[in-house]
């Protein structure tokens, strides 16, 4: 009865502590890329049920060492809450669960349950930045191989980034066709197969890693089939029933190839399993003392009370509305535009502006400024190096540069720079994050300073500034660079008068 009471108690505490992370996780699972997450918890429970006899052979030997993962998990919880990062909260939840199991069951039972507990990590989607980068690479590889396959059957197919030109039409290999939605489920299945066959580490690693080329090759076959059939059936082969059915067919084919790899590994390097030895009943372990549950409960109650009772993020209002930014800057004349309501609802911005400027020669510079008065979870800045590739832009050349600012005593600011390409068009982009008197260039800096400033200043306000200009056919990248720097030198000093600085309260 005491064990079930502990499970109920800690279940309620974890539900209260991580309710926002769990709600967000369920939202992610509704997406096609991550809907495999629904199956992970039932699989873990089944794996533990399979181990029930072996678990009974080991005594429950509570250990205070379980406080180590609990302590690390609580630290990551604070980091995730203050920094507005869900991935950190997911890892925190997993560590706390592992720590509670270790604290109450002991190391013997933990060794038996090691794989099911580790497999729990599969239900958490990867960080958005990692996911986007991997997806972009898979798009490029899959589209390149798909074009090669179409050329092998005599089709005139050419690739520009993730755009496939067939002459009579152009196909875009978007994120949904990158194959990534098959990669993670296949790798999870490979882990389960390796566990089921009790593979040595090297064999399990070969099986799991083999899921990567399998995903790329089968997805390339799917892209090639769309290109071949498009000339006979038109647009309907790239959408609707055929698109969904081909995706299911490719996944089943990938699984069949993975099973062939299992067969090959079993033939080439058999495991030679020995029958399990009958072990005598384990000696009785130590009872779970009330102190273990009390200490663990207090450790979880402290962050719950602190983060529910203390507001770590004050909403800092912008100095002036961004719509008041001037439309005329010397030779530049601007025209404002707006975002669609769906995108705006997703970004949850406090204020924003999009301005298209033209100089006297008709050359364009697009400016996007977004401001958040408080960067809570789900309402934080989105970096262009994740959003733009998701829209099909390929970063060919990226890094940091020093941007001179006119009228600022010859000072410079460090900004991110990228040359992007999409459908044959090339653009030059600058972007940076003005955050409470600092100029940051990476999301890692953004999260670290958000955590520190929330803790020390109760502030997480900040902005994103992005400027893009085309590299026209008649000019070099250096010409676009000079134009963008000339515009930024005039625009940034004015923008600084709109954004809160270090002293804002």
Answer whether 436's CB lies under 8 Å from 502's CB. Answer: yes
Cα 461 to Cα 371: distance, rounded to the nearest angstrom: 8
Q: Count the Cβ atoms, other than its own, within 10 Å of residue 222.
A: 22
Please report the pLDDT score of residue 175 as a whole number.
47
Please report the pLDDT score of residue 176 as a whole number.
45
Rounded to 5°, angle at Cα 289 from 283 and 294: 150
Please report the pLDDT score of residue 278 as a whole number.
44
Regions of the chain where pLDDT drops below 50: 1, 175-176, 274-278, 280-281
pTM: 0.77
- Closest by CA position to 143, among listed 57, 219, 198, 209: 219
For 93-112, the pLDDT digits (tens) are 999 999 999 988 888 889 99
Report the SS3 class of residue 320: coil
Q: Where are the domains of the chain?
A: 2-125, 128-268, 322-496
Q: For domain 322-496, give the CATH number.
A: 3.40.1000
Cα 296 to Cα 1: distance, rounded to the nearest angstrom: 19
Please report the pLDDT score of residue 290 as a whole number.
65
Please report the pLDDT score of residue 504 as a whole number.
61
């Amino acid at each position: 009865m005491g064990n079930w009471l502990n499970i109920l108690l800690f279940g309620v505490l974890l539900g209260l502590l991580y309710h926002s992370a769990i709600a967000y996780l369920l939202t992610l699972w509704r997406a096609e890329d991550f809907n495999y997450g629904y199956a992970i918890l039932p699989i873990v429970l089944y794996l533990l049920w399979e181990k029930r006899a072996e678990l009974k052979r080991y005594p429950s030997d509570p250990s205070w060492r379980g406080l180590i993962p609990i302590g690390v998990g609580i630290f990551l919880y604070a980091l995730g809450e203050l920094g507005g990062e869900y991935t950190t909260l997911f890892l925190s939840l997993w560590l706390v669960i592992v720590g509670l199991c270790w604290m109450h069951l002991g190391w013997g039972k933990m060794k038996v349950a090691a794989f099911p507990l580790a497999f729990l990590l599969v239900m958490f989607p990867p960080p958005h930045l990692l996911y986007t980068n991997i997806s972009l690479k898979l798009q490029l590889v899959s589209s390149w191989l798909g074009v090669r396959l179409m050329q092998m059957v005599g089709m005139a197919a050419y690739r520009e980034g993730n755009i496939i030109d067939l002459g009579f039409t152009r196909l875009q290999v978007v994120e949904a066709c990158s194959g990534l939605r098959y990669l993670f489920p296949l790798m999870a299945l490979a882990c389960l197969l390796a566990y089921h066959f009790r593979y040595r580490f090297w064999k399990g690693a070969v099986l799991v890693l083999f899921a990567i080329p399998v995903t790329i090759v089968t997805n390339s076959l799917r892209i090639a089939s769309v290109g071949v059939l498009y000339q006979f059936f038109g647009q309907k082969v790239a959408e609707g029933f055929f698109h969904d059915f081909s995706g299911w067919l490719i996944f089943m084919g990938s699984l069949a190839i993975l099973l062939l790899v299992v067969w090959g590994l079993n033939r080439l390097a058999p495991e030679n399993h020995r029958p399990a030895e009958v072990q005598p009943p384990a000696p009785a372990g130590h009872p779970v003392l009330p102190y273990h549950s009390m200490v663990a409960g207090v450790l979880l109650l402290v962050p719950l009370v602190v983060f529910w009772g203390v507001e770590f993020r004050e909403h800092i209002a912008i100095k002036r509305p961004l719509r008041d930014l001037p439309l005329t800057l010397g030779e530049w004349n601007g025209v404002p535009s707006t975002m669609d309501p769906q995108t705006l609802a997703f970004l949850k911005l406090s204020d924003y502006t999009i301005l298209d400027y033209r100089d006297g020669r008709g050359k364009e510079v697009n400016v996007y400024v977004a401001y958040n008065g408080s960067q809570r979870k789900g309402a934080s800045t989105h970096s262009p190096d994740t959003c733009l590739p998701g829209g099909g832009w390929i970063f060919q050349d990226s890094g940091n540069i020093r941007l001179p600012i006119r009228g600022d005593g010859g000072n410079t600011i460090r900004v991110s720079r990228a040359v992007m390409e999409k459908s044959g068009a090339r653009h030059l982009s600058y972007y940076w994050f003005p955050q409470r008197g600092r100029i940051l260039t990476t999301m890692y800096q953004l999260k670290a300073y958000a955590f520190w400033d929330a803790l020390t200043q109760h502030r997480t306000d900040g902005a994103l500034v992005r400027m893009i200009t085309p590299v026209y056919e008649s000019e070099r990248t250096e010409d676009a660079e000079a134009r963008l720097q000339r515009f930024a030198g005039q625009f940034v000093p004015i923008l600084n008068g709109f954004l809160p600085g270090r002293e804002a309260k």
